[in-house]
Chains A and B, each alone.
With several copies, the nearest count.
Chain A
Amino acid sequence: MIHADVVDGPIAPAEVLARVGSDRDGAALLFVGVVRDHDGGRAVEGMRYDAYREMAVEVLEAIAEEAGERAGSDRVAVVHRVGELQVGDVSVAIAVSTPHRAESFDAARYVIEQIKLRLPVWKKEHYVDGQSAWKDGCVPVADGPGRTP
């Protein structure tokens, strides 16, 4: 039931949450990343997400599997959107369910931190003043899974 995907259209967070859950789980967690209207003090009106798509799907699957192993749960779902997004649009949704709450928090946090460290996705911020720039990011490392900073 591990689910990982990269999509072009809008993400429905409730549908991602609906992919997890089971009778043995007492906790479910949904994390949603959203395009916000500012970054580093500049007003933002949108964002273009580019991906090395084939690899991004594989890395997202690997991250979800690792999170599931850490949490002792195969109820992990993650969807990342690419393309042109506006303020308020959902860029990523992560859902996890586990018997106890601590593991859901830990696993969802692991997924988003690893996305920041390893997922071959880039974003170009479009500022309200008309300029655009690639956002600074993390340099992925070759030796296996990334590490949470």
Chain B
Amino acid sequence: MTVSVRTLFFAAYRDLLGTAELDVQVPEGATVSDLVASLRARGEPFASLPAIPAVAVNRTYADPGARLGAGDEVAFIPPVAGG
């Protein structure tokens, strides 16, 4: 069984990947780490994403071990520089 999550990429990550968002299938019960690993396994440019990027799940910063569910919005957050 797999579920679909919506990944979002911003700023330098968006430039790197040439895309702002991507729907990704992950195994049920997969963690943020699992998602990152599966993306990086696609080869370049995905392999250039950090191994442990800051990530927000459904607009809240999440640990690498956070579990994903169907329809979750997973944003890859480069170092922030507001203000």
Contacts and interface: CB of A to CB of B under 8 A. Distances in A.
Q: Per the CB under 8 Å rule, do A and B touch in the complex?
A: yes
Interface of A: 33, 49-52, 54-56, 58, 80, 91-92, 101, 112, 115-124, 134-143
Contact of B83 (A55, A119, A124, A136): A119
Contact of B61 (A115, A137, A141): A141
B81 interface: yes
Contacts of B69: none
B83 A116 contact: yes
Given A52-B75, A55-B75, A139-B54, A80 B82 contact: yes
Interface of B: 8, 10-12, 15, 54, 56, 59, 61-63, 66, 75, 77-83
A140 B80 contact: yes
Contacts of B59: 52, 54-55, 58
Of B62, B66, B82, which is in contact with the most chain A CB atoms at under 10 Å from its CB? B82
Given A33-B83, A134-B78, A142-B63, 12 more contacts: A52-B8, A55-B59, A101-B83, A116-B81, A118-B61, A119-B82, A119-B83, A120-B10, A120-B77, A137-B78, A139-B79, A140-B77
A58 B60 CA distance: 9
Nearest to B78: A122
B10 A112 contact: no
Given A58-B59, A120-B56, A134-B12, A92 B77 contact: no
Nearest to A91: B83
A55 B77 CA distance: 11
A133 B18 CA distance: 16
Nearest to A49: B82
Contact of A137 (B56, B66, B75, B81): B81
Contacts of B79: 136-139
B56 A52 contact: yes
Contact of B56 (A55, A91, A101, A116): A55
Given A55-B59, A58-B59, A140-B61, A121 B80 contact: yes
A136 B81 contact: yes
Contacts of A55: 56, 59, 75
